[in-house]
């Protein structure tokens, strides 16, 4: 009797312990699992993967890439629509309302940007040699515009940080180099224009 009594009381204690654990599980909102007699446990809730959130910086990066890419595409589309002038200048006059170059009219020399529209038009048509002959700096800017468009499309599609990485290449030496190239291209254009007038 004593041994059976101890066994009986032990079984009751286990049942009470299991019941208290199951009650705690119900209070927590989780149904207890069924276990064999004398055993009880609390069901562990399944951990679901949290939703993937896009960082605000990535959204801004993609939006900026779309804006810049749209601008580059518009410039190249307009250049492709224009017919390059055989004189190497004056292509911009095909756009309604734009006057001829005032530098040529007043001083007989082209302005620093003369021929760039023509160079863009040649580049948009795929004629890079003619673009460089017309205005070397204009040809470089046209190529830069095309590359920028490709980078913007990639960044907008993937959210990549490529644009910022390329922007870090910009520095004082690059700026001075572009200024020197701009002046050299202008001198080249003046010489080319003077020879065409002979």
Residues 113 and 35 in one domain: no
Residue 98, pLDDT above cutoff 80: yes
Domain count for the chain, please give it. 2
pLDDT tens column, 109-145 = 999 999 999 999 999 999 999 999 999 999 999 999 9
d(CA 139, CA 119): 5
Residues 88 and 148 in one domain: yes
Residues 95 and 139 in one domain: yes
**Best CA proximity match to 91, nearest among 43, 52, 123, 53:** 123
Does 105 map to a domain? Answer: yes
Does 51 map to a domain? Answer: no
Alpha carbon of 25 to those of 43, 51, 156: distances in Å? 7, 27, 48
Find out whether 19 and 4 touch, Cβ atoms under 8 Å.
no
pLDDT tens column, 42-91 = 555 555 565 554 556 889 999 999 999 999 999 999 999 999 999 899 99
Does 138 map to a domain? Answer: yes
d(CA 29, CA 81): 68
Residues 32 and 61 in one domain: no
Residues 31 and 61 in one domain: no
Residues 35 and 63 in one domain: no
Residues 171 and 73 in one domain: yes
Q: Domain containing 140: what range? A: 56-197
Residue 189, pLDDT above cutoff 70: yes
In terms of average pLDDT, the best of 38-47, 152-161, 179-188 is 179-188
d(CA 85, CA 94): 10
Does 50 map to a domain? Answer: no
Residues 74 and 11 in one domain: no
Find out whether 66 and 152 touch, Cβ atoms under 8 Å.
yes
Find out whether 72 and 145 touch, Cβ atoms under 8 Å.
yes
Residue 161, pLDDT above cutoff 60: yes
Torsion of CA 169, 173, 175, 181, to 10 degrees: -120
Residues 106 and 188 in one domain: yes
Would you give the distance in Å from CA 121 to the centre of its chain? 26
d(CA 123, CA 108): 26
């Amino acid at each position: 009797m004593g041994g059976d009594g101890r066994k009986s009381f032990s079984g009751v204690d286990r049942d009470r312990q299991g019941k208290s654990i199951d009650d705690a599980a119900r209070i927590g909102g989780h149904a207890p699992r069924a276990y064999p007699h004398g055993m009880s446990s609390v069901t562990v809730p399944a951990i679901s993967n949290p939703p993937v959130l896009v960082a605000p910086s990535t959204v801004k990066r993609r939006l900026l890439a779309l804006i810049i890419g749209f601008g580059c595409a518009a410039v190249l589309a307009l250049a492709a629509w224009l017919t390059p002038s055989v004189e190497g200048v004056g292509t911009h006059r095909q756009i309604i309302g734009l006057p001829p170059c005032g530098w040529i009219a007043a001083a007989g020399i082209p302005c620093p940007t003369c021929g760039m529209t023509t160079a863009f038009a040649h580049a948009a048509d795929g004629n890079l040699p003619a673009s460089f002959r017309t205005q070397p700096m204009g040809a470089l800017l046209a190529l830069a515009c095309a590359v920028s468009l490709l980078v913007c499309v990639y960044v907008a599609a993937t959210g990549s940080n490529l644009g910022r990485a390329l922007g870090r290449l910009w520095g004082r030496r690059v700026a001075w180099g572009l200024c020197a190239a701009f002046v050299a291209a202008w001198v080249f254009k003046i010489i080319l224009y003077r020879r065409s007038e002979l």
